[in-house]
Structure 1
Amino acid sequence: MSYLKSTFVFLFVLQLSACAWLESVGLNSAKFGIAGESAAVAKPPSDQRAYRYTVLENGLKVLLISDAGADKAAASLDVNVGSRQDPENYQGLAHFLEHMLFLGTEKYPEAGSYQAFITAHGGSHNAFTSFEDTNYFFDISADSLEPALDQFAQFFVAPLFNAEYVGREVNAVNSEYRARIKDDRRRELAVFKAQVNPAHPFAKFSVGNLQTLHSDNEAALREQLLAFYQRNYSANIMALTVIGRESLDELEAMVRPKFSGVANRERQLDAIVAPLFKAGDLPRWINIQPVQNRRSLSVNFPVPDAEPHWRSKPLNYIGNILGHEGEGSLLSVLKSKGWADGLSAGESLNYQGGAMFGIEVALTEVGLKHADEIVALIYQNIAQLRAQGVERWRFAEQAGLAIQGFLFRAQPAPINDVVQLSMAMQKYPAAEVMRAPYLMDDYQPELLAEFLAAMRPDNSFITLVAPGVKPTIDIPRYQVGYSKRPITQGELAAWASGSSKALTLPAKNNFVASDFSLKRGRGESKPVPVPSAAPIELWLNTDDIFELPKAKLYLQLATEKASSDAESLAKTEMWLRMVKDQLNELTYPAQLAGLDFDLDVDWRGIEISIGGFNQKQGELLAQILAALKSPAWQENRFARLQAQRLRQFENAVKQSPYQQLIAELPRMLNHENPGLAAHEAATRKLTMAGVAAHAKAVLESVQLRMLLDGNFDQQDAQQLAKLVTKVLPVKPSPTKPMQHISQLSETNTLREIAAEHDDSAALLYLQSAETGKQARVAMGLTAQILSADFYHQLRTRKQLGYVVSASVYPQREVGGLIFLVQSSVVDAATLQAEINQYVKDWLAAGVDEATFRQHKASLLKRLAEQPENLWEAAGRHWQDLLENYAEFDSREQLVQALNALSYDDWLAAAKRDLGATSQRGVLLYAAGKWPNHLPVGKPVQSAEEFKANLPAYSFK
């Protein structure tokens, strides 16, 4: 597949051009408001919001979006400055500044006030630092935008950068670095940075740690911080996007005075002129020893900067063809030889002045032995594209689907939208900030040839990642070893001259939709049952809200046989993996044409889901069902997929400690979810014959349930139901599966996870003593009230670690709460003590009724929020159907329960569920480098042991 995600993966059947396609299906760009005055922001026809682009007197670019029906407001400010600007002797400074900016301003000096305000008003916030950008963003209840913006703006007007927080926050940066020290992608990046031209700013260490930020001299670090801010944080290289329910005039009146105070220091950013690699550095082959059991081979090429050619998108075009997964593709050929599990292609690095394009292959164990042959095939595929693939119809195909993707764009959540748009304003003309990522209206074959000409064997940076390679060079910062493999002139010549008859370029895509007419619903917004002669429970919601020619189809094959124990779950998983792999070549064009599908298994049985343009969903469903019923049982495919699954189990225990604790918790609570060791053992014992027999038995007795949500009508629903029951003429199962959730006792239970990491970690899960809606909302309200303070106390003030959070964790009707910390500075016993002390102090300090009312009102607004798009709406409906809310009113019931929750009742529940003597909880922990400093409690050795000794709540 392409590195470039669905927004950029465009293939469409066209003979002449994107404009010709638009006319052929009755769509005209002017008709849909995507051509016109340059001052207007081009937007899709389904987008009913109002837009205004303006530039403040200080040069700050602003995009205002008025959405009268919005439940959530959001804002993002992008600074066109990142780790590229780090001083050589203070690497990581841009990232450190991002951390410090949250810790108080002249107008709002309290360090945790911004986070507390956002949380108290139903919002979230974050920031990130990249090579050329630093982006700050938040969302919040729509009626609280103005005060949130006032606090947000002060980050860029008058931050304090208090000296008292310098030492604390540099420890947080160091903890962030330490938390990912065994992340293979970070380690591979460290090796890459060691290879590039030292004069290129990408060679710098962007994260930062105690050493590079000189934590032993806090005064000097603060001076550097202030100088960096004064030099680089300038209004003329900032872009702000704000979404609110207010009118455009009201939004501008809100934004202009708040952000006009941002200083314009007239910062100018020149393109990077130093080459990424010095003359003579390429070709180069690097072997890297990974932490996880993974094998990958990548070939990357430095290429010109593609950003100025955004109307042609040469790297998108090349990546879409080389990353294709259909018949005759590079991946298809590699899979047929048993050498690869996956492949991706596309732009792997971009910066102002240059870029890199790469092809990465996920290798099998057999494929590792054929690395040179795979490299040769990559060059042969590029040569084939160079000779045959630069064709107008191929470009038009991609361009047409690009426009289609824009015209029928599903509106993302506001917080995602503002981040994308604020960054887009740094790249594209104001009128094109929404459309530019999709636009391909300038076919330049000579430009494509120029980029392809750079993709030569002698201009290659090759990386092989595999266990067992022999490192000769170490990078201590990430504890990674690597070696350089010489490349001979004979190898270069052989790679450049070969050819493969098996490789073919993609054919035209026959899965593209051409019918974009909209079905009319009943004016309601929830599914209704549809009568069907077939033995299937059928539900339909014809959408009248989002008005897109798209839909979501869910089909459940409910049966206990699919996952009653570790063995049956492993067999069902392997069966579905076989089916998906078999379908990949056939369905990949469908995915490129806007149709996604998935096959999954859980305690209820098997679930099929399809999403995208509704016109071709029936064709895709027929293919999925046929393969599910009669897979092509091939031993080589089975062996490859089984080995791939076993590697996933092996790698699961090498993830960061906090990730392993989060993954282990549902295994402790859900009786139908087997422990990791049991699941792996069952997978290891599988045979293809056993899986085939299991698949046949599962399909003999299931209950069928289907939901169609979106641009379907009753006739569509009945036809699809008929298709399902024709392909799967099943005998209905007499019983429905049941879910069992552990009912915890008042015992301090411990479960150690043996993570291969120096950091310690602790996750405390507390379960409500009562079940039902009121217990759930009480626990949810508790989480909202204390989450920001827990983060501030344990991360900002005490600096226990980078990963610190408290959040609600409901399981059906069982309320729950988790406290999570990962630390590089203290042991798990200390983390347990700190979490327990925090809970004790929080209960002792109490929460007044006014705070309770404020957070209750905020949570009520969050529960009442409407879906942002068709996919979220369909997901809610399906979840309600699965959990037996026939009126699709689970949220309404939670709102009713929260409205009925009094201050006294909530306080009593909080004291009961969080009190030291009445807690029903379990502590999961990783000891890290402190194996002799362990938490206190009753240990259990496995999830099975834990669940075997507990009663369970039961749910259908």
Structure 2
Amino acid sequence: MVLKLPAAVVSRCTLIIIALLLTACGDGIKSSERGGEVIKSPNDGRDYRSLVLDNGLKVLLISDPQTDKSAAALDVGVGSAQDPADREGLAHFLEHMLFLGTDNYPEPEAYQAYISAHSGSHNAYTAFENTNYFFDIEPEYLAGGLDRFSRFFVAPLFTEAYVEREKNAVYSEYKSKLKNEYRRSLDALRQEVNPAHPMAKFSVGNLQTLADRDDDKVRDDLLAFYNKHYSAEVMSLVVLGRESLPELEQMVRSRFAEIPSPEVASNEITVPLFEVDKLPGFMQVKSLKDVRSLSLAFPIPSQRQFYRSKPALFVGDMLGHEGEGSLLEYLKQQGLAEGLSAGAGLDYNGGGLFNISVSLTAKGEANWSQVVEAVFQAVNRFKQHGMNEQMFAQQRQLMDIRFRYQEKAAAIHTVSGLAGQLKKYPASEVLSAPYMLDVYKPELVEQLLTFISPDNAMITLTSRTVNTDKVTELYHTDYSYQPTGGWAQVGTNSAITMPAANDFIAEDFSLLNDKAEAQLPQKIIDNQRYQLWYGADQQFRIPKGEVRATLRSDDAQQSADHAVKLLLLTALADDSLNSFSYPAMLAGLEFDVSATTRGLSLKVAGYTDKQPLLLKALLDGLQQPTYSQTRFNNIKDEFRRGWANADYQPPYGRLVTALNESLMLHYWSEKQLLAAIESVELTDVLTYRQQFFSQAAMEMLVYGNYSEQQAKDFAELTVSSLSLGGGNPGENTVVVLPAEKNWSRTVAVNHNDAAGLLYVQGRSDGYDERALMGVTAQLLKAPFYSSLRTEQQLGYIVYGVPKVTLKVPGLMLLVQSPTASPEKIESSMLAFIAGFAEQVEIEGEEAFIRQRQALVAAVAKEPENLSQQSGIYWRQIALGYDDFEMREQLISHIEAVEYQQWLSFYRQRFVGQLDRTLWLQTESPAFTSPLQAVPLGSVVEFKAQQQYYHYK
């Protein structure tokens, strides 16, 4: 269990996303192929070809002979903005329906079953002005996947029976998010935007908007919408496979040339987002959770055409900067804020929004107008200073580096992202455009800043205590709106300054160990205080690396009180390093310090050149003589509110959390942590810090572009800086559920949906049992989804997956439903389990072998980048697999599972009376468990009475 300060994480993640969306230009290598030149990173070994089919379909082909997964994505230039006024949610409903049968593959589960049987995954999403469909699969089955996928866009069936059923799935999706704070706030905003603007429409859909009406069947509207909007002219396709570019082109032309291409009207939106009298405006939104936030949204022109100069980059960087002299640092010093993000948000054909979001303290909520004033003071400072060539050159240098040393992402994410980008950028620049920054135009920054002004702002204050006088119909959000103003003459603030030059930008990109052979990490130091593993990367050959460490002590596991003190220590250290961490993040470096069930986890990663600076800063942050009492109070309050909000998590998430709490001895619940934090003071944290370090031992992995001596230097620096004393590192322990017994537990949630989770634990933690349970999960996950979601329509959230707790295998079945009771969910699960062996027998041994091979392929999948490889090694070290053979051992045991052997295992373990199970459910007025499970009662007492698996 890793816990982190919520506000800090949200702020940093938001800013990382903004940074990645911004552009710069590097010296690219041109891959010349018939159909177009595609500029790619010098670190990219794939081959590319762009082309346009006769029907107007834009295509990007990617040949990667080394890929473990082939993938494809098709993006359609139609989204919720195009929903008919009387059929809100139709684009989203159509997305659902395309998965449920086509002319050549009429069975509703045909596509999903084929993908699942070949170690693949699939999904789709509907956005404001586009819909994106994507899948990945074992490379040798790409052609079959494309066969099924292509028919979505040629001849879907829209079978009447599934039209009726899938309405319930859309309704379940809508109901599952009724208490989602983002959806609730968006629902309030929709009431105040221009009613003529598509943003005012309800994008999800429900049983009312999708209902059949007199002389107006929703299926007819689906067909009309599909025929009108699903044109090859507004589609872009990306296919990645092991095949050569000519082979991929033939695969695409033979399958996608049939897509019709009716003329599609422009999707440009000409009406303003807000009517003239709405801005400046002030909204108050009452939250369900105990949250406090302030957002400022400014309508702006679309920024798409400025991708070579990206003015929003510079405005977002200045306002969202977290370093010394930043707006956020000033607000923290005043005790007003915990986090801040800024940048362009929604961008559509005709307009967009620039957003500034601030996570407030209690003082900040009470004095929100001071926060607004500080924001406009920062804006005015930037208007005075403007963007200069030095700022432009630094940002260009950063993007140059990112593009030059770009790493692979997972195939499915690659194709999905590029399919969307193929419509935004010229095909030759589809890879480079997000990094392109080659046109210096400070006047564009000045122009954008004219829209970031007090008279163009919609300001929204969100908390539990705001004043409201309206309620939205769909998400039942209490809110209010009134015209506002008063910040036109705020001036500037000398405490808020422009970002300084970034000292963390790498300068030395030389690669070490050119002559070293590829090898597994080696343990090069092993003493009482620490163990050090070192590995020189020879696979990815980039000037990056990762230093990972865990400071372990059994003292950290003794109580929730100790866990809270470590959590507060990590949050205080992280907060104190903000002036270092933010510019480091922009320069491609990252660090993390977090509390785990065993102690403290440290990580420094990215370009190796400046890592020693960042590691030293991190260690100094952990060892500061003291911290700000004001910051301690606010951080403590953030944790307290986060844990108090736990009951508002989605029901399925609460059940998974409760399962982990039930299985792991040192996993503390939110209620335990809440009780412990109340009495903890700053002096307690400082006292415990020295106690913990004096008793902690360290495990460290240094992997990447390092010498062995550098690895030793990192380890010695960490051990000496923190004065680690060594000691008992403690154990990880997992409950052994007793044989011949089933348990149940009811979990309180603050949600209208019901949910049920069935966990079946393996009978040992050996490779044989892990293989058998893994094969079971692989076989049933697709039919379980098809049966309980598609056929029975129990809910939108339905899945059956393997659940491995450390080394202990298990199976987890989960359903969240707006209509079914926990008893109905459980009985449906048990009925499926009871009949599943017969279903496997009907499909036969050949289908079993395909599924077994799909699992092998998933386990054998090679890492895409250095970070993934480092993570694989680190997880094996943490579990005690010093020989790094865990994956190979598991694969060999999976391959050894025979058809009849598995049938015997399944009948013995799952048919008839189950045992070693834990059933978790949301509260229900009256419930009789078909499992005849024993109520678990007190979780603390239950765990104290059980036996355990023990791991280092």
- TM-score normalised by structure 1 residue count: 0.95
Q: Which residue of structure 1 lines up, in the alignment, with residue 7 of structure 2?
A: none
Q: Could you list the per-position Cα deviations for residues 335-361 of structure 1 after superposition, in whole angstroms to 9, with x for gaps in the alignment?
A: 111111100101121111101101110
1:148 aligns with 2:148: no
Q: Could you list the per-position Cα deviations for residues 428-475 of structure 1 after superposition, in whole angstroms to 9, with x for gaps in the alignment?
A: 000111111111111111111111011111111000001111220110
Q: Which amino acid aligns with 2:642?
A: Q
Q: Which residue of structure 2 lines up, in the alignment, with residue 23 of structure 1?
A: none
CA deviation after TM superposition for structure 1 residue 903, in Å: 2.2
Q: Which amino acid aligns with 1:822?
A: Q
Indicate the SS of the match to 1:917.
coil
1:563 aligns with 2:560: no
Q: Which residue of structure 2 lines up, in the alignment, with residue 721 of structure 1?
A: 715
In structure 2, runs of 5+ residues without a counterpart are 1-10
**CA–CA separation in structure 2 for the residues paired with 1:520 and 1:735:** 33
Q: Which residue of structure 2 lines up, in the alignment, with residue 499 of structure 1?
A: 492
**CA–CA separation in structure 1 for the residues paired with 2:904 and 2:595:** 39
**CA–CA separation in structure 2 for the residues paired with 1:18 and 1:657:** 43
**CA–CA separation in structure 1 for the residues paired with 2:55 and 2:316:** 40
1:29 aligns with 2:12: no
Q: Which amino acid aligns with 2:225?
A: F
**CA–CA separation in structure 1 for the residues paired with 2:676 and 2:830:** 38
Q: Which residue of structure 2 lines up, in the alignment, with residue 614 of structure 1?
A: 608
1:125 aligns with 2:122: yes
Indicate the SS of the match to 1:478.
coil
Q: Which amino acid aligns with 1:29?
A: D
1:90 to 84, 87, 96: 87
1:372 aligns with 2:369: yes
CA deviation after TM superposition for structure 1 residue 545, in Å: 1.1
Q: Which residue of structure 2 lines up, in the alignment, with residue 517 of structure 1?
A: 510
- Once the two structures are overlaid, the 10-residue window that deviates more, 222-231 or 945-954, is 945-954
Distance of aligned partners of 1:3 and 1:271 in 2 relative to their CA distance in 1, 3 Å threshold: farther
**CA–CA separation in structure 1 for the residues paired with 2:142 and 2:458:** 48
Q: Which amino acid aligns with 2:268?
A: A
Q: Could you list the per-position Cα deviations for residues 803-834 of structure 1 after superposition, in whole angstroms to 9, with x for gaps in the alignment?
A: 00000001233110111101111111111111
Q: Which amino acid aligns with 1:94?
A: A
CA deviation after TM superposition for structure 1 residue 537, in Å: 1.7
1:951 aligns with 2:947: yes
Contact 1:389/1:505 (8 A) holds in 2: no
Contact 1:579/1:631 (8 A) holds in 2: no
1:870 to 862, 866, 871: 866
**CA–CA separation in structure 2 for the residues paired with 1:573 and 1:322:** 29
**CA–CA separation in structure 1 for the residues paired with 2:329 and 2:237:** 44
CA deviation after TM superposition for structure 1 residue 535, in Å: 5.1
1:693 aligns with 2:687: yes
2:808 to 784, 803, 814: 814
CA deviation after TM superposition for structure 1 residue 794, in Å: 0.7
**CA–CA separation in structure 2 for the residues paired with 1:941 and 1:111:** 42
**CA–CA separation in structure 2 for the residues paired with 1:644 and 1:740:** 30
- After TM superposition, the structure 1 = structure 2 runs for residues 751-790 of structure 1, keeping only pairs within 5 Å, are 751-790=745-784
Indicate the SS of the match to 1:766.
strand
**CA–CA separation in structure 2 for the residues paired with 1:946 and 1:40:** 64
Distance of aligned partners of 1:949 and 1:874 in 2 relative to their CA distance in 1, 3 Å threshold: same
Contact 1:829/1:933 (8 A) holds in 2: yes
2:202 to 182, 202, 205: 205
- After TM superposition, the structure 1 = structure 2 runs for residues 147-546 of structure 1, keeping only pairs within 5 Å, are 147-215=144-212, 220-487=217-484, 491-493=486-488, 496-520=489-513, 522-531=516-525, 536-546=530-540
CA deviation after TM superposition for structure 1 residue 499, in Å: 2.6
**CA–CA separation in structure 1 for the residues paired with 2:635 and 2:937:** 30
Contact 1:674/1:944 (8 A) holds in 2: no
2:134 to 128, 137, 148: 137
**CA–CA separation in structure 2 for the residues paired with 1:327 and 1:11:** 24
Q: Which amino acid aligns with 2:49?
A: R
1:856 to 852, 855, 861: 852
CA deviation after TM superposition for structure 1 residue 955, in Å: 1.3
**CA–CA separation in structure 1 for the residues paired with 2:483 and 2:740:** 63
Q: Could you list the per-position Cα deviations for residues 381-439 of structure 1 after superposition, in whole angstroms to 9, with x for gaps in the alignment?
A: 11111111321211221122112111111210000000110000010000111111111
Contact 1:827/1:934 (8 A) holds in 2: no
Contact 2:386/2:442 (8 A) holds in 1: no
**CA–CA separation in structure 2 for the residues paired with 1:845 and 1:37:** 49
Contact 2:566/2:685 (8 A) holds in 1: yes
Contact 2:285/2:468 (8 A) holds in 1: yes
1:919 aligns with 2:912: no
Contact 1:10/1:402 (8 A) holds in 2: no
Q: Could you list the per-position Cα deviations for residues 114-137 of structure 1 after superposition, in whole angstroms to 9, with x for gaps in the alignment?
A: 101101100100000000110000
1:552 aligns with 2:562: no
**CA–CA separation in structure 2 for the residues paired with 1:500 and 1:916:** 73
Indicate the SS of the match to 2:153.
coil
Distance of aligned partners of 1:102 and 1:829 in 2 relative to their CA distance in 1, 3 Å threshold: same
**CA–CA separation in structure 2 for the residues paired with 1:586 and 1:728:** 19
Contact 2:147/2:255 (8 A) holds in 1: yes
Q: Which residue of structure 1 lines up, in the alignment, with residue 677 of structure 2?
A: 683
CA deviation after TM superposition for structure 1 residue 45, in Å: 1.1
CA deviation after TM superposition for structure 1 residue 634, in Å: 2.4
Q: Could you list the per-position Cα deviations for residues 62-86 of structure 1 after superposition, in whole angstroms to 9, with x for gaps in the alignment?
A: 1110110111111100001000110
**CA–CA separation in structure 2 for the residues paired with 1:446 and 1:811:** 56
**CA–CA separation in structure 1 for the residues paired with 2:33 and 2:304:** 23
Contact 1:283/1:458 (8 A) holds in 2: yes
- Once the two structures are overlaid, the 10-residue window that deviates more, 551-560 or 79-88, is 551-560
Q: Which amino acid aligns with 1:920?
A: R
CA deviation after TM superposition for structure 1 residue 9, in Å: 1.7
Equivalenced residue count is 937
Q: Could you list the per-position Cα deviations for residues 204-261 of structure 1 after superposition, in whole angstroms to 9, with x for gaps in the alignment?
A: 1000001111256797100000000000000011001111011111111111100001
Indicate the SS of the match to 1:852.
helix
Q: Which residue of structure 1 lines up, in the alignment, with residue 43 of structure 2?
A: 46
**CA–CA separation in structure 2 for the residues paired with 1:312 and 1:818:** 49
Contact 1:10/1:398 (8 A) holds in 2: no
Q: Which residue of structure 2 lines up, in the alignment, with residue 69 of structure 1?
A: 66
**CA–CA separation in structure 2 for the residues paired with 1:580 and 1:906:** 49
CA deviation after TM superposition for structure 1 residue 707, in Å: 0.8
CA deviation after TM superposition for structure 1 residue 7, in Å: 6.2
**CA–CA separation in structure 2 for the residues paired with 1:500 and 1:745:** 68
Distance of aligned partners of 1:871 and 1:355 in 2 relative to their CA distance in 1, 3 Å threshold: same
Q: Which residue of structure 2 lines up, in the alignment, with residue 886 of structure 1?
A: 882
CA deviation after TM superposition for structure 1 residue 4, in Å: 6.0
| Identical columns (%) | 39
Indicate the SS of the match to 1:877.
helix
**CA–CA separation in structure 2 for the residues paired with 1:771 and 1:955:** 11
Q: Which amino acid aligns with 2:689?
A: A
Contact 1:46/1:546 (8 A) holds in 2: no
Q: Which amino acid aligns with 2:646?
A: A
Q: Which amino acid aligns with 1:209?
A: N
Distance of aligned partners of 1:224 and 1:18 in 2 relative to their CA distance in 1, 3 Å threshold: closer
**CA–CA separation in structure 2 for the residues paired with 1:35 and 1:462:** 50
CA deviation after TM superposition for structure 1 residue 190, in Å: 0.6
**CA–CA separation in structure 2 for the residues paired with 1:219 and 1:857:** 47
**CA–CA separation in structure 1 for the residues paired with 2:948 and 2:908:** 20
**CA–CA separation in structure 1 for the residues paired with 2:213 and 2:117:** 37
Q: Which residue of structure 1 lines up, in the alignment, with residue 6 of structure 2?
A: none
Q: Which residue of structure 2 lines up, in the alignment, with residue 25 of structure 1?
A: none
**CA–CA separation in structure 2 for the residues paired with 1:90 and 1:11:** 33
Q: Could you list the per-position Cα deviations for residues 716-766 of structure 1 after superposition, in whole angstroms to 9, with x for gaps in the alignment?
A: 212222322331332221454343334344333221111111110001111
Q: Which amino acid aligns with 2:576?
A: Q
- TM-score normalised by structure 2 residue count: 0.95
In structure 1, runs of 5+ residues without a counterpart are 20-27
Indicate the SS of the match to 2:764.
strand
